[in-house]
Amino acid sequence: MGMSASQARLLYLTAQLNNLSLKGQNVSDAKARLALDTQAIQDKYIKALNSSRLMLNSNIFATDGSVFTNEYITLDNLAANGYKVSDGSKILGYKWENIPTGEKELIEGPAEPDYTKPIYPMKEVETDGFVAPSATAIGDAGKMQNIVNSLGLTTNDLDVQSYKTIINGQEKEINAIVIKSQNGFNKVYETLQNEATSGVLDNALQQNYAFDVEEVNMSAYKSTGIPFFQGIFDGNGVTLTGLDGSQGLFRDVYGVVKNVNIKGANIKAEKDSLGAIAGYLGEGGLIENCNVTDINITCNLENKEYEEGYDSERAGVGGIVGYNNGSIRNTSAQGQIYIPHADESFGYIGGFAGANVNSEYGSSKNVIENCYSDVNIRLSSSTNYSNSINGFIGDDTYEALINNCISLGSILTSNGNAINGTDLANWGPVIESNVTNLMALDTRNNNDVMYWENQVNPSFVSGSRTQPPSLSGATTTLSDGSQVYTWLNAGAAGYNDQNQLSAINNNLPVLNLTAIQSEGLSKTGAKQVPDTDAEPIGYQYKKTYIEVDKFRSELVLDPDFKITSLELEEGLRSGAYTLVKPADKSTTQTILLNGVYYDTVSLSCCSIITDEAQDELIEKAEAEYNRDMQEIQMQDKRYEMDQKKIDTEYNACLSEEESIKNVLSKNVERSFKTFG
């Protein structure tokens, strides 16, 4: 072979070797892809072996004795076994519908004018405050004059006079010892305290007293509480400051205390009944139009054996009274009560009253109306207490009639922890009275506001977080015929003038006590009253009622809701859905959906649902695995044969290339010798 032919052959072989190398690389790449396919087939097979489905096995036997075949879970077959599925906000596959009951009910319709209650234009009249004693007025003016004479002051300090005021909603004309100065108060208070010291139920404790002074200071005295008071004590809007001692203003009240404001009282004692107004309000007693603010009461009883029952062996501590056997109206309390040695047998602690102790259940003689409590209760470091602690009334076993009242304030141990007793605190309040319009700030439940519009023995669960319609624009008619708002909402005129900061700060309704209380004050001057001699300018409105169909809300199937068995299973496994069953009552395991309590059921604890391997799927997967692996093996053999063929051709070309290179090398060497 000549030089040129050899070189041409060498070039061909080089190209052929490159081509064979490329083919070999392609076969290697194909085998690598085949390895990946093999891994995918194996993974698919292993997944099928480990797969399972949730199956319903309700153990229901057919008529021939055989067990029904397991089936995939669905909403229908779960419901047939008493289970439903919740997504946390609703029951899947159901919706609430109003279903006619076939009965009728009355609902409030549009208000109509009440032509029996005209509204007259107002006119201004001059009113008399204190005047000369009247022979027809309540109280023995002669006995009161003897007391005044014995005290040796001038009429600038004390005098016996007559005046008109409102007591328990009725206008009364009263003879009273009128206190006109600080000196006058000191003499009267010392007289009453002296009777307390001597323990004699005497003349002074049965008389009437009224104030014609804006403020008096009690800091010169240590209050032990005026005992057995049976007369009328009318503060006429006076503010008492500096009250300090072992009891509030009174120890026992059997008469009337009204129009008194107590500011900054500091009461600390080892006594069984404590309150800023009185330790005990006796049967027939009345407290109305009173306010106590910034009070600080400490009941320091310790190491004492207590017995059951309403007696001195069990403590009663409240912002207004310790024990209440009378009525309290238009009155508020704000401040703190501290019980450093409280335990589960201590007694009765309430922000407003320690306990109601009237002997007649639901008696009209025991009414708490238009009252407000914003008293923080602090206990000892223990966290175990009886259920006789409440932001409003500590114990209400003996029922009262409660209307238009607010309960705020917190109840904590001295180290700031929440108490752990049952039926406690302002998370109710759980009481036994019949209530109308009661509102409580639930300090144990994220400061929710609970309302009871009309309830008998209200409990926490009977409350509502929706304000009753009757609170919106609620009014009361005063004795002069004028109407005032009894409840104010944020933004209403007069709202920001209320001395109820917690209500304002929490954007809650407040009681408009200012307007109600001002009616009972006896002040000389001009007063706006209805002019009943003039033509009416309008009429009060009365409620009307309309008879409508009565409906009940029922959970019914939602035909538009669709969910596959696999979607349902995936939701239950992931926790997006929860199995539930209707519950009889609220517990820590229940959820509330549309007013119905449901028990949550763990998927692993549901006996009718089993997590089962899918035999048919496994058999199918095994057949697919064997088929696919057989194809892989056949393809692998073809790649092996192709690789061997390429290797044979490559080696042949390589040998021929080497031979040609040797021939060319020898020809070059011979040429050098010839021409050398």
Q: Residues in the chain with pLDDT < 50?
A: 1, 62, 201, 306-312, 421-428
Distance CA 307, CA 330 (A): 33
Whether residue 251 contacts residue 257, with contact meaning beta carbons closer than 8 Å, is answered with no
Q: Residue 345 — φ and ψ, nearest 5°?
A: -110, 10
Which residue from 225, 234, 276, 275 is spatially nearest to 255, judged by alpha carbons? 234
Instruction: Give the pLDDT of residue 178.
Output: 96
Q: What backbone phi and psi angles, to 5 degrees, belong to 194? A: -65, -40
Whole-angstrom distance, CA of residue 155 vs CA of residue 177: 11
Mapped onto helix, strand or coil, the DSSP state of residue 83 is coil
One-letter amino acid at 515 equals A
**Computed from CA positions of residues 418, 422, 428, 433, in that sequence, does the dihedral angle turn out positive or negative?**
negative
425 dihedral zone (left: phi>0; alpha: psi -120 to 50; beta) = left
* Cα–Cα distance list, 287 to 116, 209, 450, 507 (Å): 33, 14, 26, 28
Q: What distance in Å separates the CA atoms of residue 256 and residue 302, rounded to the nearest whole number?
A: 33
Alpha carbons 291 and 249: distance in angstroms, whole number: 13
Q: Whats the size of the chain, residue-wise? A: 676
Biggest alpha carbon distance in the chain? 171
C-alpha 177/C-alpha 467 separation (Å) is 45
22's CB contacts (< 8 A; 6+ apart) are none
pLDDT at 421: 46
Please answer whether residues 339 and 377 qualify as being in contact, where contact means their C-beta atoms are separated by less than 8 angstroms: yes
DSSP E strands: which ranges in 386-482?
Answer: 389-390, 393-395, 401-408, 411-413, 434-442, 448-456, 475-477
What are the φ and ψ backbone dihedral angles of 365, each rounded to 5 degrees?
Answer: -80, -10
- CA pair distance 314, 53, nearest whole angstrom: 63
Cβ atoms 180, 186 nearer than 8 A: no
pTM across the whole model: 0.64
C-alpha count within 13 angstroms, C-beta hemisphere, residue 96? 10
Helix, strand, coil: what percent of the chain each, to 5?
A: 25, 35, 35
Estimate the crossing angle of helix 615-675 against helix 3-50, to 10 degrees. Answer: 160
- Return the closest-CA partner of residue 317 out of 256, 379, 232, 397: 379
Report the alpha-carbon distance of residue 379 to residue 353 in Å, rounded: 16
CB burial readout 123-152, b (16+ within 10 A) else e: eeeeeebbeebbeebebbbeebbebbeebe
The tokens describing 580, both together, are 């539930």
Q: DSSP 3-state assignment of 26?
A: helix
Q: What is the DSSP string of 509-563?
A: -EE-HHHHHHTT----EEEEEE-TTSPPSEEEEE--EEEEEEEEEEEEE-TT---
Closest CA to 493 of 519, 470, 514: 514
Tokens standing for residue 243: 């009250």
Pairing state between β 578-582 and 158-167: unpaired
Phi, psi of 109 (to 5 degrees): -105, -170
Q: Taking the mean position of all CA atoms in its chain, how far away is CA 115?
A: 43
- Least Cα distance to 253 among 220, 283, 223, 224 occurs for 283
Region of residue 480 (left: phi > 0; alpha: psi -120 to 50; beta: else) = alpha
Cα torsion angle, 150, 151, 153, 159, sign: negative
Phi first, then psi, for residue 341 (nearest 5°) are -125, 30
- Pairing mode, if any, of strands 353-356 and 393-395? parallel
Q: Is 117 exposed, middle or buried (0-12, 13-18, 19+ CB in 10 A)?
A: middle
Q: Residue 250 in contact with residue 277, Cβ under 8 Å? A: yes
Q: Distance between CA 426 and CA 412 in Å, rounded?
A: 11
Are 598 and 84 spatial neighbours (Cβ–Cβ below 8 Å)? Answer: yes
pLDDT of 382 reads 62
Half-sphere exposure of 309 (CA within 13 A, CB side): 5
Torsion of CA 265, 268, 274, 276, to 10 degrees: 0
Cis peptide leading into 110, omega within 30 of 0? no
